[in-house]
Homo-oligomer: A and B are copies of this chain.
Amino acid sequence: MSGKKLHFGIIGAGRIGRVHANSLAFQIPEAEIVSVFDVNREAAGRLAADFNIPNIAGTVDDILGDKRIEAVAICSSTDTHADMIAWSAQAGKHIFCEKPISYTLKQIDGALEAVEKAGVKLQIGFNRRFDTNYARVRKAVADGEIGKPCLVHIVSRDPLPPLISFVKVSGGMFLDMMIHDFDMARFLTGDEVEEVYAAAGVMADPAIGEVGDVDTAIVTLHFRGGAIGTIDNSRKAVFGYDQRVEILGTEGKIASENRFPNQVVVSTGKAVYSDLPLNFFMDRYTDSFAEELRQFTRAVLEDRPVPVTGADSRVPVIMALAARKSYDEHRPVKLVEVSA
């Protein structure tokens, strides 16, 4: 466990900042956090105390100008991501950034351009790729264990709707929530989606409809390679976080189930039952949050390609824009319609 370390600055000390600080401080021996910045200085202070971070930066520039810092973890609010990426790149830092870079292609392209120019590494936080379930499904597809994919189903349902204040600034369900599933569709199949058709409605919380968003949706996917599939999203699965995928291939089927807090079954005179599945992403994806940063750290230290690229952050946004357009216009929409 000895050897070279990668020195990090953390930008943003909110909930996801804590998750990544914990991974870097306690689960990745090759990583060391040098400094943390947050517009809320008190939050930065608490994070520093809890994870033994020696410096609390007064400004972003204190991070970007710190010579010891080789990489930044951008955990600030989404609207700052594109700028933070550009500035960090210009400062020569390698970048791990939470998804998405932005909700507009223009901003994304600006950020990616800065990264390319600087020649730094950029990895986007599509953490689900590192979940053992999805990694296993991907491996099966890549290895031909189930033949060529024909039918792809991705289910992703939250336990309960977010606050309306969040919904208003979230970019909408397709951009905020389904973005992960659009990434999954590409990752699991190794294929690209050409066209989508979105059916959606307001079934979980009428207030979501009142601010112009939907809370329940099925998006049909037409893949370039010929496969078809669906993404199923709901803002309200009362039993907990519902995160499953299934692929039917020419030689078999692979399906992943939810994770549960225990493997205990009780049988009484009334029913055979178990406890509810893990409730939300902080419980379900704990390990994948650590694994994505571990792989980023090692990719930088060993100068290898990162596992989730800037391009991987661009396409799901296009898919989300196409899905919303499909819903609005009630017709199938090709991705080129929104990306051209």
Do A255 and B248 touch across chains, with their CB atoms under 8 A apart? no
Do B275 and A252 touch across chains, with their CB atoms under 8 A apart? no
Q: Assuming A239-B272, A251-B238, is B261 touching A132 (CB within 8 A)?
A: yes
Do A264 and B255 touch across chains, with their CB atoms under 8 A apart? yes
Q: How many residues of A contact B (CB 8 A)?
A: 77
3 closest cross-chain pairs (CB), A and B: A26-B26, A252-B268, A273-B273
CA distance A269 to B228 in the complex (A): 22
Residue from B49, B220, B272 in contact with A274 in the complex, judged by beta carbons closer than 8 Å: B272
Q: In this assembly, does A5 line the interface, its C-beta being within 8 Å of a C-beta of chain B? A: no
- The stretch of A83-91, A102-110, A199-207 in contact with B is A199-207
Classify the interface of chain A: helix, strand, loop or mixed: mixed
CA distance A197 to B274 in the complex (A): 33
Q: In this assembly, does A146 line the interface, its C-beta being within 8 Å of a C-beta of chain B? A: yes
CA distance A199 to B262 in the complex (A): 31
What would 8 A/B residue contacts be, using CB atoms closer than 8 Å? A133-B264, A135-B262, A150-B216, A150-B234, A239-B267, A252-B267, A253-B266, A267-B276
Q: Hey, which chain B residues are within 8 Å of A14, CB to CB?
A: none
A155-214: which have CB < 8 Å to B? 157, 197, 199-201, 203-204
Which of A146, A237, A331 has the largest count of B CB atoms less than 10 A from its CB? A237
Q: Assuming A27-B26, A229-B218, A238-B269, is B204 touching A250 (CB within 8 A)?
A: yes
Do B222 and A199 touch across chains, with their CB atoms under 8 A apart? yes
Q: Assuming A201-B226, A263-B258, is B252 touching A239 (CB within 8 A)?
A: yes
Q: In this assembly, does A81 line the interface, its C-beta being within 8 Å of a C-beta of chain B? A: no
Least distance between A276 CB and chain B CB atoms (Å): 6
Q: Hey, which chain B residues are within 8 Å of A227, CB to CB?
A: 201, 203
Q: In this assembly, does A60 line the interface, its C-beta being within 8 Å of a C-beta of chain B? A: no
Q: In this assembly, does A137 line the interface, its C-beta being within 8 Å of a C-beta of chain B? A: yes
Which of A216, A218, A250 has the largest count of B CB atoms less than 10 A from its CB? A218
Contact with B along A29-48 (1 / 0, CB 8 A): 10000000000000000000
Q: In this assembly, does A20 line the interface, its C-beta being within 8 Å of a C-beta of chain B? A: no
CA distance A267 to B273 in the complex (A): 9
A248-290: which have CB < 8 Å to B? 248, 250-277
Q: Assuming A133-B264, A269-B251, is B197 touching A199 (CB within 8 A)?
A: yes
CA distance A273 to B136 in the complex (A): 13
Residue from B259, B261, B272 in contact with A263 in the complex, judged by beta carbons closer than 8 Å: B259
Which of A230, A268, A330 has the largest count of B CB atoms less than 10 A from its CB? A268
CA distance A254 to B266 in the complex (A): 4
